[in-house]
Amino acid sequence: MKRRQLLAGVVTGAVSTVAGCGYAPGGGDVRRTTQAGRSPFGPVSDVVTATPGAYLIRAVHAGGMLGDDETVVNVIGRDGELRWSHEHEGRSRGVAATMDGDRVHALTEAGRLETATPDANRTSPPREEFEGTPAWSVTLDESTLDGSTLPDEEEAAEEVVPIAADAAGAYVAVDGGIAAVRDGSVAWVVEMEGGESVTALLGQNAVPDGTGVVAVTSSQVVSVAPDGGRRWAVDDVSSPQVTPAGDRLFVRSEDGLIALDAGTGAVEWTVGLDASGPAPTVTDGRVAAVERGSIHVVDAVSGEPLWRASAGVSADPPVVVDESQAYGIDRNDAVAVGADAGGEGDDGDEGDGAGERWRRDLDDEVSGRPVAGWLDGETVAFAFDTGSFVWLQRRQADRGLL
């Protein structure tokens, strides 16, 4: 489980764009930035984020002498627009949301799971004042968890607890297992094999029918049905990190990259890698895995190699890829790296595109840790845990098309 980072406060700000008649943006040019979301009054002490589907869920806590001890949970679209928000007392230990962004679950430091939905009276376009309506809440303790407890209770203010959501409710990691919560009550608690701690939970986008949950431990990937029964399990996977996409789960482990059928758990293909690394990223049918600074890009269906960038990028995940370039955030810079041989379909030697293509200092544009990245037309976009968004030109634009 990851420690929270102390972050600066973010207030909804203006959107800036780069445009103009006849202007042909070059690779790395910032096309648009925005700051999204509400923050409570007072100094921000920590932020918890999740990125289900097309949304960034950002829980911002503030407390102390200058403000109330409360958290604002923001639901932000990938266009950088705030959809709605919900407030609860104290800090969030974890947040999750349904794929459509219309139901949010927040676990407070007091062990209370609160669920909210957007105000039914909201109208378009989205506005800051759209607040959520509480749907139900339940305290998770020994009495409601059939003798189990939340993990790391003594460090409740420091640790993030894995949570996931589906259409039926929420799933919360408990000591050595998972609890399912439905309409304000605990439906069941199941233990993991060997009592291993759950390091990640994946909801709707990781199961083929949109119901159930995938649990990840230090050595297992397990798919659990809505009734608590085990659908399938893959054991003896060393330090797995899982990324769902379509009807597959892409697993990075110390042994390499594995594609699993999300419905059956069957191994569809494997790619050997020499070292462990961050969770893979999936962009438009391409799976990217970072290995010792190099980037391997393979086809999501077959596992066949598409291209490789040996120059690599010293970037935090996520790394976003297209047909011949990879994009990431390296400290305060956005950077693009070209494929060694020019990209997909190029059978020649190392092309002009190899190595670092461009680097852009983002100090004056955005701040925070990147939590999501995607391709958006001719741009690559990144969202940060501070609520910052940035869109950068991928390649030199054709003046003839302006």
C-beta separation of 173 from 181 below 8 A: no
Give, as one character, the DSSP assignment of residue 231: E
What is the pLDDT confidence band of residue 153, given thresholds at 50, 70 and 90?
low
Q: Which amino acid is at 218?
A: S
Least confident of 116-130, 150-164, 217-231: 116-130
φ, ψ of residue 319 to 5 degrees: the values are: -105, 125
260: Cα separation from own chain's centroid: 19
* pLDDT at position 315: 60
Query: Two tokens at 79?
Result: 């266009």
* pLDDT at position 131: 74
Q: What is the mean pLDDT of residues 26-37?
A: 93
* pLDDT at position 297: 95
Least confident of 17-21, 161-165, 277-281, 310-314: 17-21
Q: Which amino acid is at 326?
A: A
Q: Return the beta strands (E) in 98-158 as ranges.
A: 104-108, 112-118, 132-139
* pLDDT at position 278: 87
User: What confidence tens digit (pLDDT) does each residue in 285-330 have?
Assistant: 999 998 887 899 999 999 999 999 986 566 667 899 999 999 999 8
* 15 pLDDT higher than 80: no
Q: What is the mean pLDDT of residues 341-350?
A: 52
Looking at every residue in the chain, the average pLDDT score rounds to 84
* pLDDT at position 372: 93
Q: Is the dihedral of CA 59, 2, 375, 201 positive or negative?
A: negative
DSSP letter for each residue of 318-332: EEEE-SSEEEEEETT
* 374 pLDDT higher than 70: yes
φ, ψ of residue 240 to 5 degrees: the values are: -70, 145
What is the pLDDT confidence band of residue 120, given thresholds at 50, 70 and 90?
low
Give how far Cα 365 sits from Cα of 210, 232, 272, 341, 390, Å: 37, 45, 38, 32, 8
The reported pTM is 0.87
Unique residue bearing structure tokens 């097309």: 54
User: What confidence tens digit (pLDDT) does each residue in 243-260 have?
Assistant: 999 999 999 998 899 999
User: What confidence tens digit (pLDDT) does each residue in 180-196 have?
Assistant: 999 999 999 999 988 89
Give how far Cα 10 sits from Cα of 4, 31, 315, 384, Å: 16, 21, 23, 11
Please tell me whether residue 344 adopts helix, strand or coil conformation. coil
**Which residues, 6 or more positions from 345, have their beta carbon under 8 angstroms from its beta carbon?**
none
What is the pLDDT confidence band of residue 37, given thresholds at 50, 70 and 90?
confident
d(CA 72, CA 39): 6
* 341 pLDDT higher than 60: yes
104: Cα separation from own chain's centroid: 15
* 10 pLDDT higher than 80: no
What is the pLDDT confidence band of residue 221, given thresholds at 50, 70 and 90?
very high
What is the pLDDT confidence band of residue 51, given thresholds at 50, 70 and 90?
confident
Residues shown for the chain: 402
* pLDDT at position 349: 40
What is the pLDDT confidence band of residue 284, given thresholds at 50, 70 and 90?
very high
